[in-house]
Amino acid sequence: MTRTLSRLALAAVLLSSLASFAQYSKFAGMNAPAAASVEKVKDEKTGEVVTRTVEKPIAVQRDGYGNANGNQFDLAVDGAFDGQTVAVLQFYTGEGFDFSLPKAALKQKGFSVYRWMNQAPPLKEFEAALEKSCQLWIISDATQKLSPAHIALIKKFFDEGHGVYIWGDNEPYYADANAVGLALLGVKMLGDVPGDQTVGLQKTPTTAGVLRRHLLTTGLEYLYEGITIATVQPNQVLSPLLYGSANNLVAGFYDSKGKRAIFDGGFTRLFLKWDSAGTARYVKNAAAWLTNVERFKDLHASVEAAPTPNRATP
């Protein structure tokens, strides 16, 4: 007898199976916590016995914005990535932005942060640090700091399967974001859109909200969009992740051919109104997802930490 799965049930099964990775929580891929079970039922139209995943919401405490409260509802379990390093090129450092808030959130999952500020590092130093990092985050400024040689190293790192998070913000704070986005994915961001709103789960395509049922949005029913934001331009490569309150695409992701990246036009979320809806959880989810455990299944906690570079802060 042929057994079939509906597309929705298949997606649920795939998301549930991903939770079997030791790094992921049992709620991976769920916006709201639920208990999932696989059941065999008779299809009313065909009479065939089919397998479906059934999820039943569970009662949990919620924070002031409506998201499930507690680290157990993040994508990754606490300490899962002990020994892994997130390399950060932080070119925007205005308004007191010192990366301390994202750093503290990432530490909960075990990540250390290896950060340069204001200018690009020497090529050899950059290459050596990337060799000891599981992913790279780039926070753009108004003027481009990366040379073609730096971008070539980033592309090599990306092509090897390591995650890249590309952050820009309202015009003109996307110089390097666009340079790297075009080199890796053929994407760019433009414009300056007022934000400062919280959006819920997306109800229809291309309208305000957070993508439903994705690893990146685990535990997120509400997310703060940022103060002022750039708009990701239409592209066939990126999948939409976050539409802002003005129905503009704020962030998209790439997940294909064993490679992962996020392209985001709202870096103000990293330091302004940090305690608004979902920011800390989203940052932790993004880092866990970009580690790409589905490709690099054997993540060792004994990875040697990269030495602190001359112009970086730990």
pLDDT of residue 278 exceeding 80: yes
Quick one: which H or E segment has residue 86? strand 85-90
pLDDT of residue 153 exceeding 50: yes
The two tokens of residue 188 are 């760019």
**pLDDT number for residue 40:** 83
pLDDT of residue 269 exceeding 50: yes
Q: What integer is the mean pLDDT of 255-273?
A: 97
Domains and CATH numbers, the chain: 7-57 (no CATH), 71-290 (3.40.50.880)
**pLDDT number for residue 17:** 47
Q: Is residue 289 very low, low, confident or very high in pLDDT (cuts 50, 70, 90)?
A: very high
pLDDT of residue 130 exceeding 60: yes
**pLDDT number for residue 242:** 98
pLDDT of residue 271 exceeding 60: yes
Quick one: the chain helix, strand, coil %, rounded to 5? 25, 25, 50
**pLDDT number for residue 21:** 64
Tell me the per-residue pLDDT of 156-189, one tens digit each, with 9 for 90 and over.
Answer: 999 999 999 999 999 999 999 999 999 999 999 9
Give the lowest-confidence range in 69-73, 129-133, 309-313. 309-313
CB 113 within 8 A of CB 99: yes
Nearest to 28 by CA among 162, 20, 134: 20
Q: What is the mean pLDDT of the chain?
A: 89
pTM of structure: 0.87
The two tokens of residue 70 are 């507690």
The two tokens of residue 231 are 């708009």
The two tokens of residue 283 are 């940052």
**pLDDT number for residue 245:** 97
Q: Is residue 298 very low, low, confident or very high in pLDDT (cuts 50, 70, 90)?
A: low
DSSP string, 253-272: EEEETTEEEEEES-GGGGTS
Give the lowest-confidence range in 9-18, 48-57, 238-247, 284-293. 9-18
Tell me the per-residue pLDDT of 187-224, one tens digit each, with 9 for 90 and over.
Answer: 999 999 999 999 999 999 999 999 999 999 999 999 99
Specify the higher pLDDT residue, 275 or 1: 275
